[in-house]
Amino acid sequence: MTKPVIGFIGLGLMGGNMVENLQKRGYQLNVMDLNKDAVATCVARGAKAVSSAKELAANSDIVMLCLTTSAVVEKLVYAEDGILAGIKEGSVLIDFGTSIPASTRKIGADLAKKGAGMIDAPLGRTPAHAKDGLLNIMAAGDIETFNKVKPVLDEQGENVFHLGALGAGHTTKLINNFMGMTTVCAMSQAFAVADLAGVDRQQLFDIMSAGPSNSPFMKFCKNYAVDGVSDLGFSIANANKDLGYFLKMVDDLGTESKIAEGSSANLQAAFDAGLGNGNVPEIFDYFVKLEK
């Protein structure tokens, strides 16, 4: 059976490794990115570079996006030379980024008018997992569209979940990141307060990790606050963006989250202090400087 032609936009660490994995598995790809070196790397392995999202969509059966924000996704979809202008009837757009669910549903409705489908499929795990096709993929969209692209998703993810109607994947990812990033903010501040109070950080970890608070996130925070090792691999800037999206989603649902507002305020403050490129546990450095 002939493999679908895939168009891929967004060749950062995650997207670039996803493309390499697909190429190793025999897929033909059309690629596009502002980073010309990243494009050249894919082309050297047999991909075709395209000059516009319209061209990419017109020549692909599945269009995949691995981009930074909902605003960037909407710009590529709705531009005069964008995806919507070129996408073929029967094609499917997959958004692997972390986007605002209301935006995702709007794009899906507009694609449906052209006979194209959409799946939101945010990712778990790391770029290293992407290279080996071992991601966790939180996919959502109508089941017929999901089943159409599932064979490709299965070659990209070790665990591929179908979570329901379009937008449920992005909703789940934002909830997941709200929980995770709030945990990191709380634990990092716990280490900072211990330090200011003269309590040994290692001893704090030994005590807390012996109880129900123990978690991989706690270990990431300990690795930085105690050992100086920053190994979570998720930036304060990205966490700040995702908490902002979570708050937008909560507002769209007609409710509020004071907990998320607190985490978001701390992440924004750390970002404003110049720590945005650091991994999230490095917010510890921001907290220790809050001493009055």
Write the pLDDT tens digit of every residue in 24-49. 999 999 999 999 999 999 999 999 99
The pLDDT value recorded for residue 182 is 97
Q: Is the pLDDT at 291 greater than 70, yes or no?
A: no
- 3-state secondary structure at position 247: helix
Amino acid (1-letter code) at residue 155: E
Tally of CB atoms within 10 A around 71? 12
How confident is the model over 118-133, as pLDDT tens digits? 999 999 988 999 999 9
State residue 233's pLDDT score.
84
Distances in Å between the alpha carbon of 73 and those of 20, 64, 94?
A: 22, 11, 11
**25: Cβ contacts below 8 Å, ≥ 6 apart:** 133, 155
Tokens 């999202």 found at: 53
**Residue 129 CB partners (closer than 8 Å, separation 6+):** 135, 158
For residue range 65-111, what is the model confidence (pLDDT) as tens digits?
Answer: 999 999 999 999 999 999 999 999 999 999 999 999 999 999 999 99
The topology (CATH level 3) of 5-165 is Rossmann fold (3.40.50)
Contacts of 168 (CB under 8 A, 6+ apart): 101, 120, 140
Residue 242 · residue 174 · CB < 8 Å? yes
Whether residue 63 contacts residue 30, with contact meaning beta carbons closer than 8 Å, is answered with: no
| pLDDT value, residue 155 | 98
- Domain boundaries 170-288, CATH class: mainly alpha
Mean pLDDT of 234-263: 97
CA atoms in the 13 A half-sphere facing the CB of 60: 31
Do 87 and 116 form a contact (C-beta atoms < 8 A)?
yes
- Res. 239: pLDDT tops 90: yes
Position 292 pLDDT exceeds 60 = no
Pick the catalytic residue from 48, 54, 131, 173.
Answer: 173
Residue (of 142, 133, 134) closest to 163 by Cα position:
142
Residues of the chain with CATH 3.40.50.720: 5-165
Sheet with 6-9, strands from edge to edge, namely 48-49, 29-32, 6-9, 62-65, 92-95, 117-120
* Confidence band of 199 (pLDDT split at 50, 70, 90): very high
Q: What is the mean pLDDT of residues 208-221?
A: 95
CA atoms within 13 A on the CB side of 114: 20
173 tagged catalytic: yes
Report how far residue 85's alpha carbon sits from residue 38's, in angstroms, rounded to the nearest whole number: 25
Q: At 253, is the secondary structure helix, strand, or coil?
A: coil
